[in-house]
Structure 1
């Protein structure tokens, strides 16, 4: 089969298309013929050796895939050959065939096409867990979403509204991305290159601040977010996109205001508590099937063009999800 491997840590040029043996499955695993896979920022970090759990090259990058079940292990019960599924594969997804554990494989509703399905696993599952299970967003609350024009950003905006948020505010790094966040349903979008986002959030909330803040950037953005986090507010960090480590948070910023700083990693959840994701799938997939949640697809490439897909994401010019069509 064809697969893209990271031959060494480095730039997009280390992504190599090779021929390799089709993987075999264990008794609780599923073999999937990949139709499409998404490109995530975590793939970029893995290429540089900066993503937690990254092995040594060569390895296949990619977190999720959509495709058709080709074979199942002897103990597999909930999926069968021929099922259309999404999955979090065991050893990367930039390949024509992948292997996934049964509990990390989810059967698709008939209404979902493979493009939408491939765009959803990492961003939709992460967004739902952040909002519903970690931040526990409540009806009418104000939600602030950093990096609002990206895959998780545009998905989280919609899910916040679905889950009852009263106001959703997004931030973006440059003005060209404002329209993507607005199109996803954000009530207000702030460009933090030209505005003080904390000051603007406080203005939009009559001085109360945001009840929930989703932060994948870290560094100064995390620190500044505390200037607009409401009493009883929850700031959830789930990435360090700018590479910075935030300064020490003073306990006085938290206990007297009843505020919380929380962390979440979908990768850790897949590895340590995969059983938690079935409930997430049961919630998210119906939202996609009935159209309440729309996946924003910004670009499509072939498997052979994986380096171009990485270049686009690294340019910070991409909006929505970037896909690799493997067996279209």
Structure 2
């Protein structure tokens, strides 16, 4: 079968198509024929070594797929090596989905949708009427977070995005305004996956008892030191968030996913789909993602 693999760390150039033997499912696992694999920013961290050690090489990245079970069911699944024509998945990590649901929409709700849900509900603990700033508001997580913040009762939703097209998209998704720093008004919650200078600007823009939730470092900036005395002066907090350990908590997946699928079915949540690339072009997908040429959910199709 065709798969995408890397045997040393680096940028998108280390991703290469290879022929591998089909995986063999173990106890409690299913073999899935992949219809589409999701591309996430976390995949670029796997590729450059931010998430993996050398003992994991060679490695096939990818954490989510839409695929078919041997008995013909169409499913959404969390996996470990999704950039391939066939994958194995734990039966407990498989969710049957409708035939008419676009693969990109389903995949958008898995990693990005669960991330956005938990950022607002679990990490920020958003309260009705609070203001929310979403960085990278046209991206996979950001585009859903803008909509969910409104759905969860935010008083104002403010978007940060790069470029006029992405700013327009954020407004179309329900943001009240596009912002640049310094803010004209303090924010109760800021969701940041960029880091670096933007993180620092956001921290100074928090209202009393505000929360800055950091869940990524797309700027690839160095370590940002947070002085406790500074937090005391601001009367604010910094909350770290990583989806992977969050998913191990009871009902961290099924409940939120059920709510997300219901919101889509009711027309109250619209996943934004970006590019669709042939599986063999995974390198190009990573290049476009890192260069910020994309919006919404990217997928690879075998």
Aligned to 2:190: 213
How many residues are aligned here? 302
Q: Which residue of 1 aligns with 2:176?
A: 187
The whole-number CA distance in structure 2 between the counterparts of 1:151 and 1:104 is 21
Instruction: Find 1:102's aligned residue among 91, 94, 105.
Output: 91
User: CA–CA distance in 2 between the matches of 1:166 and 1:82?
Assistant: 45
Q: Which residue of 197, 213, 224 corresponds with 2:201?
A: 224
Question: Which deviates further from its counterpart, 288-297 or 273-282?
Answer: 273-282
Please give the alpha-carbon distance, in whole angstroms, between the structure 2 residues aligned to 1:189 and 1:256: 27
Normalised to the residue count of structure 1, the TM-score between the two structures is 0.85
- The DSSP-based 3-state class of the residue aligned with 1:254 is helix
Residue number among 140, 143, 160 corresponding to 1:171 in the alignment: 160
Question: Residues of 2 paired with 1:269 and 1:31: CA distance?
Answer: 25
In structure 2, what is the equivalent of residue 252 of structure 1? 229
Change (3 A) 1:256 1:221: same
Residue 103 of structure 1: how far off its partner (Å): 2.9
Shift in Å at residue 246 of structure 1?
Answer: 4.7
Picking from 302, 313, 316, the partner of 2:292 is 316
Shift of 1:172: 1.9
What is residue 298 of structure 1 aligned with on the other side?
A: 274
Runs of 4+ residues deviating >3 angstroms:
52-56, 173-176, 252-258, 272-275
Taking structure 2 as the reference length, what is the TM-score of the superposition?
0.91
Q: 1:234 aligns with which of 205, 211, 224?
A: 211
User: What's 2:106 paired with?
Assistant: 117
Q: In structure 1, list runs of 5 or more residues that go unmatched.
A: 71-80
Does the 8 A contact of 2:109 with 2:257 survive in 1? Answer: no
CA RMSD of aligned residues (A): 2.1
Q: Which residue of 1 aligns with 2:34?
A: 34
1:92-113: per-residue Cα shift (whole Å, max 9, x none)? 1111111122332222256523
Check conservation: 2:2, 2:84, Cα contact below 8 A. Answer: yes
Q: Closer, same or farther in 2 for the Cα pair 1:187/1:68, shift >3 Å?
A: same
The equivalences for 1:276-291 within 5 A come to 276-291=252-267
Residues 1:260 and 1:110: Cα distance change in structure 2 (over 3 Å): farther
Provide the secondary structure at the position in 1 that maps to 2:264: helix
